């Protein structure tokens, strides 16, 4: 092969490429110098400024010499200069020259504030007023802004409880002014000392007082007068009355001032009007369900009072009836129609039906730490099944109850489970959208409490509700961002409870959805020390529990425990049954628990019942069975509550029965007496004794009847009257039956948690020969 022809070919290719490059460069150069039709800015000038430097003004202007002239840029410059609040007026002159357009910005300057004064202010410092207005010596004078600031100062005084304050702009409201002077008349600081109500018959004034915000603290300590709060209170009272059927209610106010106007009495004047009743109920548009079936599901019936809560609940019930059968897009609206007959309405439920749907994909969004599979574990919906709005809402409630996600009723933040808005409304399969926002799931709680059973004690609890046992840190950032060991929805609780009579230290791990099922697994290890009158007890052990909530009201568990118990320092002379247990004792056992709970509240129930039965077989140094059953029933006394449903008087009955085998040691036996047992007796002061020492029994039967009545309108203070009875026996028999009567006080302080403070006085009526009495029993606790 000849080399020269190849070299020639390469030269030809290179020349061709070079030609293309030169052609492109020439074309680009030609474009750069192509003339334009737009005029060019030859010069930018500023005229009329005396105190503000030209350079400072030009720095705010985007129109520059040498660039094309654009009117929109000039107008933007004018707006920008006005925004600086330097000038009363900004005008633009444009003149053409051979070199282009000369743009001149002609300004009329505002004068600067040479002095700023507040006259008459004594209750609010000048520094605070300057901060509120933003005005300073040396800033541009703006009469319009000064007038606005006068109103703002006036509002500041009103917010601080000075309703008669007035502010005059003495100087600074006219062009040419160089000083800004506010003349302030503060007037008296007015406090609300009394709140009364006129015209109310539905409920008493004490109950209405709990609904308002503009009131004295604790009813006696005057608080500042805030007209906005009064307006909000009026709206709240109207809403409250309408909720109970007073659809025509009117609420006004009357303000009674003291002579020097430093005290005020607010009188809310109420015209309740008639309480409306339901004349008839009908349906329109329903085809899938007959009217008779739907009416049977309603709480409002013909002849009953109209109640907004019940009307809303009934509308939802109808919607759920459709939604549970797959009609998830059916719309139900309650149409309340006034009749000519005063005080009566007809209710017509307008139904717009669709067709049954099925569940498509379940999408989870918003979870950054919690795994999506954990969220899906709490769904009562699965792809392919019949769609159901009730299961949708139940799934949402499940997520709320996990406390893994943000829940804030005031801001409306909570986990939502909804039909995906991106769904085609005509599709048979509807996707589910789960939207969550991560919550702070870790907490460090401090507490202190004292009660008559166990003395004084503190509490330190480290609790993580979104623990992940297997999410080990892969980097330092995992630790810094707190992603390590988080995200699986497990619980870890470390607890230390030191005290004068009781000490407890424990670590608990719980998997609420074992392998994605509805079973829960809990395991814990603990050290426990208790100083009893009879002896000192120490326990080191562990517990394993497999649980299941079968229905909303029925739950159960299987439990295995292992304990090492040490008994020491017995009361002298040493009872034989206690002497047999001195030193170390080993126990292990298996048990089962089943419960049924229909109470409307776990903390303060007013209706429903709780029944729990348990059985356990223990092995080790002692072999014996142990069985127990507990029942609690609550009734609200009809006719004694207020018209709005508050102030319920509650009767409760508690019964407890326990039986154990013959070989049960003293540290596992039943004892009675004290708070939560038979009041009027000391803690563990009821039962069989040996040598003057309580040794417990293998049979226990306790009953208690209690009557609770509220004292205050907010239900935070109440009285209880009780009768406690029962016995603890060596054998399954009744030889000495104890009875105590008494009364007590219940104090609920919302800032201290939902459990009320309890103070009880018990008086034994029937007792055993060696029982220990105690007049007063109590429980106090504060937790943060």
In a domain, 392, yes or no: yes
Q: Please, are residues 89 and 107 in contact by the beta-carbon 8 Å criterion?
A: yes
750 and 682 assigned to the same domain: yes
At residue 652, the pLDDT reads 96
Give the helix, strand, coil percentages of the chain, each rounded to 5: 20, 40, 40
Quickly count: other Cβ atoms within 10 Å of residue 702's Cβ. 22
Alpha-carbon gap, residue 317 to 323, rounded angstroms: 9
* Per-residue confidence band for 279, with pLDDT thresholds at 50, 70 and 90: very high
Alpha-carbon gap, residue 650 to 635, rounded angstroms: 6
Alpha-carbon gap, residue 80 to 102, rounded angstroms: 20
Please tell me whether residue 560 adopts helix, strand or coil conformation: strand
Nearest to 433 by CA among 446, 445, 415: 415
In a domain, 369, yes or no: yes
Alpha-carbon gap, residue 332 to 300, rounded angstroms: 16
75 and 124 assigned to the same domain: no
Q: Please, are residues 671 and 644 in contact by the beta-carbon 8 Å criterion?
A: no
pLDDT at 12 over 80: no
633 and 776 assigned to the same domain: yes
In a domain, 63, yes or no: yes
Kindly report the CATH number assigned to the domain that includes residue 310: 3.10.20.310
660 and 768 assigned to the same domain: yes
502-511 and 519-531 as β-strands: parallel, antiparallel, unpaired?
antiparallel
Residues comprising the chain, all counted: 784
- The CA-atom distances, in angstroms, between 532 and each of 139, 505, 575, 727, 762 are 76, 18, 14, 20, 22
Q: Which residues pair with 537 in a beta bridge?
A: 530, 567
- 707 vs 99 pLDDT, higher one: 707
Alpha-carbon gap, residue 290 to 302, rounded angstroms: 18
714 and 604 assigned to the same domain: yes
At residue 753, the pLDDT reads 65
Domain span at residue 249?
A: 191-271
Kindly report the CATH number assigned to the domain that includes residue 776: 2.40.160.50
* Per-residue confidence band for 4, with pLDDT thresholds at 50, 70 and 90: very low
pLDDT at 675 over 70: yes
650 and 773 assigned to the same domain: yes
Query: Where are the extended beta strands (E) located within 452-582?
Result: 455-467, 490-497, 502-511, 519-531, 536-549, 554-568
pLDDT at 782 over 70: no
- The CA-atom distances, in angstroms, between 325 and each of 288, 297, 433, 776 are 10, 15, 20, 57
Nearest to 762 by CA among 677, 694, 687: 677
* pLDDT tens column, 78-91: 999 988 888 888 99
In a domain, 600, yes or no: yes
* pLDDT tens column, 696-750: 999 999 999 999 999 988 888 999 999 999 999 999 999 989 999 999 999 988 7
- Domain stop point among 63, 88, 109: 109
658 and 711 assigned to the same domain: yes
- Domain stop point among 386, 410, 435: 435
DSSP of 708-766: EEE-STTS-EEEEEEEEEEEEESSSS-S--EEEEEEEEEE--GGG-SSPEEEEEEEEEE
Mean pLDDT rounded to a whole number for the chain: 88
pLDDT at 22 over 80: no
pLDDT at 6 over 70: no
* Per-residue confidence band for 484, with pLDDT thresholds at 50, 70 and 90: confident
87-97 and 100-109 as β-strands: parallel, antiparallel, unpaired?
antiparallel
In a domain, 7, yes or no: no
In a domain, 322, yes or no: yes
Which has the minimum average pLDDT: 184-188, 632-636, 752-756?
752-756
* Per-residue confidence band for 619, with pLDDT thresholds at 50, 70 and 90: very high
Query: What is the DSSP-derived secondary structure letter of residue 181?
Result: E
597 and 739 assigned to the same domain: yes
**Residue 270, Ramachandran bin (φ over 0: left; ψ between -120 and 50: alpha; else beta):** beta
141 and 262 assigned to the same domain: no
In a domain, 637, yes or no: yes
Averaged pLDDT, 483-506: 92
At residue 781, the pLDDT reads 59
Alpha-carbon gap, residue 463 to 509, rounded angstroms: 10
Alpha-carbon gap, residue 562 to 488, rounded angstroms: 28
* pLDDT tens column, 503-518: 999 999 999 999 888 8
Predicted TM-score (pTM) of this structure: 0.67
753 and 616 assigned to the same domain: yes
* Per-residue confidence band for 29, with pLDDT thresholds at 50, 70 and 90: very low
What is the crossing angle of helices 227-243 and 308-324, to 10°? Answer: 60
Number of domains making up the chain: 6
At residue 36, the pLDDT reads 52
At residue 27, the pLDDT reads 39
* pLDDT tens column, 393-430: 999 999 998 889 998 877 788 999 999 999 998 899 99
- Domain stop point among 255, 271, 287: 271
In a domain, 197, yes or no: yes
Q: Please, are residues 431 and 365 in contact by the beta-carbon 8 Å criterion?
A: no
At residue 557, the pLDDT reads 97
* Per-residue confidence band for 17, with pLDDT thresholds at 50, 70 and 90: very low
At residue 141, the pLDDT reads 84
At residue 14, the pLDDT reads 40
**How many helices (DSSP H) and strands (DSSP E) are in the chain?**
13, 34
Averaged pLDDT, 581-606: 94
Backbone torsions φ then ψ of 402, nearest 5 degrees: -65, -25
At residue 109, the pLDDT reads 83
* pLDDT tens column, 211-266: 898 888 777 788 888 888 899 999 999 999 998 999 999 999 999 988 888 898 99
748 and 708 assigned to the same domain: yes
Alpha-carbon gap, residue 175 to 149, rounded angstroms: 17
Which residues contact residue 38 at a Cβ distance below 8 angstroms, ignoring those fewer than 6 apart?
Answer: 68, 69, 70
pLDDT at 284 over 90: yes
49 and 129 assigned to the same domain: no
């Amino acid at each position: 092969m000849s080399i020269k022809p190849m070299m020639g070919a390469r030269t030809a290719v290179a020349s061709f490429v070079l030609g293309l490059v030169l052609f492109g460069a020439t074309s680009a150069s030609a474009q750069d110098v192509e003339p334009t039709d737009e005029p060019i800015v030859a010069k930018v000038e500023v005229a009329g400024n005396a105190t503000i430097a030209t350079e400072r003004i030009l720095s705010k202007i985007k129109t520059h010499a040498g660039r094309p002239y654009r009117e929109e840029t000039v107008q933007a410059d004018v707006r920008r200069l006005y925004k600086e609040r330097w000038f009363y007026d900004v005008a633009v002159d444009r003149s053409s020259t051979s070199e282009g357009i000369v743009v001149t910005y002609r300004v009329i300057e505002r004068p600067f504030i040479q002095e700023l004064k507040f006259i008459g202010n004594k209750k609010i410092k000048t520094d605070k007023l300057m901060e509120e207005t933003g005005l300073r010596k040396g800033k541009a004078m703006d009469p319009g802004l000064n007038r606005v600031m006068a109103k703002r100062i006036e509002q500041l005084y009103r917010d601080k409880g000075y309703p008669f304050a007035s502010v005059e702009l003495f100087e600074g409201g006219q062009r040419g002014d160089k000083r800004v002077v506010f003349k302030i008349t503060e007037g008296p600081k007015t406090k609300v000392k009394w709140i009364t109500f006129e015209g109310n018959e539905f409920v008493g004034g004490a109950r209405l007082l709990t609904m308002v915000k503009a009131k004295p603290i604790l009813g006696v300590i005057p608080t500042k007068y805030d007209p906005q709060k009064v307006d909000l209170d009026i709206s709240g009272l109207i809403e409250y009355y309408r909720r109970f059927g007073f659809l025509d209610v009117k609420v006004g106010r009357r303000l009674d001032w003291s002579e020097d106007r430093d005290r005020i009495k607010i009188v809310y004047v109420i015209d309740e009007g008639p309480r409306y009743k339901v004349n008839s109920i009908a349906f329109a548009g329903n085809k899938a369900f007959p009217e008779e079936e739907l009416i049977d599901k309603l709480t409002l019936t013909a002849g009953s009072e109209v109640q907004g809560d019940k009307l809303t609940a009934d509308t939802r019930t109808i919607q759920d009836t459709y939604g549970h059968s797959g009609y998830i897009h059916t719309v139900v609206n309650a149409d309340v129609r006034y009749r000519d007959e005063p005080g009566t309405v007809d209710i017509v439920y307008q139904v717009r039906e669709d067709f049954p749907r099925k569940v498509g994909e379940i999408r989870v969004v918003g979870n950054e730490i919690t795994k999506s599979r954990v969220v899906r574990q709490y769904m009562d919906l699965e792809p392919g099944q019949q769609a159901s709005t009730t299961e949708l809402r139940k799934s949402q409630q499940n997520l709320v109850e996990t406390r893994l996600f943000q829940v804030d009723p005031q801001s409306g933040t909570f986990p939502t489970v909804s039909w995906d808005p991106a769904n085609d409304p005509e599709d048979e399969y509807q996707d589910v959208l789960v939207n969550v926002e991560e919550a702070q799931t870790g907490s460090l709680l401090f507490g202190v409490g004292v009660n008559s059973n166990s003395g004084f004690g503190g509490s330190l609890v480290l609790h993580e509700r979104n623990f992940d046992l297997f999410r080990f840190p892969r980097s330092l950032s995992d630790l810094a961002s707190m992603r390590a060991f988080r995200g699986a929805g497990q619980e870890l609780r470390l607890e230390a409870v030191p005290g004068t009579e009781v000490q407890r230290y424990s670590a608990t791990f719980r998997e609420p959805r074992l392998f994605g099922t509805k079973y829960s697994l809990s395991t814990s290890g603990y050290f426990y020390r208790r100083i009893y009158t009879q002896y000192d007890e120490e326990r080191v052990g562990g517990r394993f529990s497999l649980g299941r909530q079968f229905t909303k009201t029925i739950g159960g568990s299987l439990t295995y425990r292992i304990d090492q118990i040490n008994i020491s320092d017995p009361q002298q002379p040493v009872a034989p049954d206690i002497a047999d247990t001195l030193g170390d004792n080993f126990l292990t056992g298996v048990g089962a628990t089943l419960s049924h709970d229909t109470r409307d509240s776990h903390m303060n129930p007013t209706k429903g019942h709780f029944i729990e039965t348990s059985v356990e077989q223990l092995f080790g140094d002692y072999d014996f069975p142990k069985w127990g059953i507990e029942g609690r029933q609550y009734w609200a006394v009809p006719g004694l509550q207020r018209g709005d449903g508050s102030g319920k008087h509650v009767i409760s009955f508690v019964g407890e029965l326990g039986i154990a085998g013959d070989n049960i040691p003293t540290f596992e036996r039943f004892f009675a007496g004290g708070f939560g047992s038979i009041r009027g007796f000391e803690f563990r002061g009821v039962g069989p004794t040996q040598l003057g020492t309580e040794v417990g029994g293998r049979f226990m039967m306790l009953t208690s009847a209690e009557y609770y009545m509220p004292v205050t309108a907010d239900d935070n203070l109440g009285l209880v009257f009780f009768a406690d009875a029962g016995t603890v026996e060596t054998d399954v028999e009744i030889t000495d039956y104890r009875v105590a009567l008494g009364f007590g006080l219940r104090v609920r302080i919302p800032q201290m948690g939902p459990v009320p403070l309890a103070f009880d006085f018990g008086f034994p009526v029937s007792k055993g020969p060696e029982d220990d009495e105690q007049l007063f029993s109590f429980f106090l606790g504060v937790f943060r």
